[in-house]
Amino acid sequence: MNYQSNAQGKGPGITEHRRIRRRSYLIGLFYAVILTLASFWASSTDLIYAPGVPILLAVLAIAQMGVHLVFFLHISSAPDQTNNFLALAFGIFIVGLVVFGSMMIMANLNHAMMPMDQLMQMQR
Amino acid sequence: MNVMTETAAAAKTIPLSMRGPAPVQAVVGYGFWLFLLSDIIIFSALFAAYAVLSGETDGGPSGAALFDKTHVFYETACLLASSVTCGFATLAVQQRSMLTAFPWMTATLVLGAVFLCLERAEFAHMLATGNGPARSAFLSAFFTLVGAHGLHVAVGLFWLVIMVLQIATLGLRPMVRRRFFCFSLFWHALDIVWIGVFTIVYLGAR
């Protein structure tokens, strides 16, 4: 059973050693709590240079997503998880294309659009 | 012992195409992982819409004026705690221990329900003060994104209730364990989406 599942790869979230898994949830909880508290603190403090706050929030959020993937979903780059890892990489690629592509195109269109009052005058 | 090491060695030399069908657990887990990734891509489209429209308030209130960070903090705490209790329930199910599985499943159910109640109260307050989805493009995008996540949580809770009933009636047979395992993946993925929601929507509100 064991060697068979190793030979054919694993689904996400499967590990054999239950003691390691229990510990992994607790470690994950510890990191997630720290990162969550840090992002709530960062959003309401005056100690950080204000234009830098969104970047810090993004870094903290990406770190926490990583913590959840590794410690809760048990995704790793181990050889028997190649399929899961490749699918995840492709998913992240598409998410990046959709989000940043939309933002870039819409910002560009906003920039290129004629101001609304001039547009209204042309239609008359 | 000897057989084990021999098969393990054979597994390395036999090409993947000649090893026969993969175990059901691996196939189900991988298929559900693909579904979760496609679900996250749907969310990414809603996030993109929100990012584009978050400034278009049409003279109405902006995010910073509407959102209460303590409220969001309680929601986040509920969802994170329920993610961990769900993990412990998964461990109990894998050890075929119903006695430990049911308390953890109940805890997950209660925490998820508290999250939904908090979100419902927030939406009800916004609707009562005239800031519904029809107020501005920003609020349309907000209700679509956060509402879609809340809908997923509601579906997850419904699924969890069904899993409790199935474990009680069918027992922890392999089919039921696989279903519960898929539920736990779904629940963890929802928590990952929520990280994006509370960072971009609530903490990033201008």
pLDDT per residue as tens digits for the range A25-77? 999 999 999 999 999 999 988 888 888 899 999 999 999 999 999 999 988 88
Higher pLDDT, A9 or A75: A75
pLDDT in tens, B12-65: 677 777 878 888 888 899 999 999 999 999 999 999 999 999 888 888 888 888
Q: And the tokens for A2?
A: 């064991």
pLDDT at res. B6: 56
Please report the pLDDT score of residue B1 as a whole number. 43
Average pLDDT, chain A: 85
| CB nearest B34 (choices: A10, A69, A87) | A87
Band (pLDDT 50/70/90 cuts) for residue B187 is very high
Predicted confidence at residue B23, as pLDDT, reads 84
Between vectors from CA A33 to CA A27 and to CA A34, what angle results, nearest 5°?
Answer: 95
- CB atoms A72 and B191 under 8 Å: yes
Residues A52-70 as b or e (16 or more Cβ within 10 Å = b)? ebbeebeebbebbbebbbe
The whole-number average pLDDT for the span B102-107 is 96
Indicate the angle between helix axes B98-128 and B137-170, nearest 10 degrees. Answer: 160
pLDDT at B4 over 60: no
* Chain A residues with CB-CB distance to B188 below 8 A: 13, 68, 72-73
Q: Does residue A5 surpass a pLDDT of 50?
A: no
Residue in B45, B189, B203 closest to A98 by CB: B45
Best B14, B27, B44, B201 residue to mutate vs chain A (most A CBs within 10 Å): B44
> Are B7 and A3 within 8 A, CB to CB?
yes
Nearest Cβ partner for B37 among A14, A88, A106 = A88
Q: At A54, which amino acid appears?
A: P
Residues with Cβ within 8 Å of residue B94, at least 6 apart in sequence: A18, B177
Q: Are B8 and A6 in contact (CB under 8 A)?
A: yes
Dist. CA B142–CA B54, nearest whole Å: 8
pLDDT confidence of B9, banded at 50, 70, 90? low
pLDDT bin (cut points 50, 70, 90) of residue B182 is very high
d(CA A74, CA A65): 12
Q: How far apart, in whole angstroms, are the C-alpha atoms of residue A46 and residue A51?
A: 11
For residues A65 and B190, the answer to whether their CB atoms sit within 8 Å is no
Which helix (DSSP H) or strand (DSSP E) does residue B122 occupy? helix B98-128
Give φ, ψ of A75 to 5 degrees. Answer: -85, 135
Q: Which residues of A touch B3 (CB under 8 A)?
A: none
- Structure tokens given for B171: 């027992």
Q: Nearest chain A Cα to B181, which residue?
A: A13
Mean pLDDT to the nearest integer, B144-168: 96
**Cβ contact B191:A72 at 8 Å:** yes
Confidence of residue A83 (pLDDT cuts 50, 70, 90): confident
Cβ proximity of B203 and B69 under 8 Å: yes
Provide mean pLDDT across the span B124-138.
Answer: 92
- At residue A12, the pLDDT reads 74
The pLDDT assigned to B58 comes to: 85
Q: Are A35 and A63 in contact (CB under 8 A)?
A: yes
CB atoms within 10 A of CB A4: 14
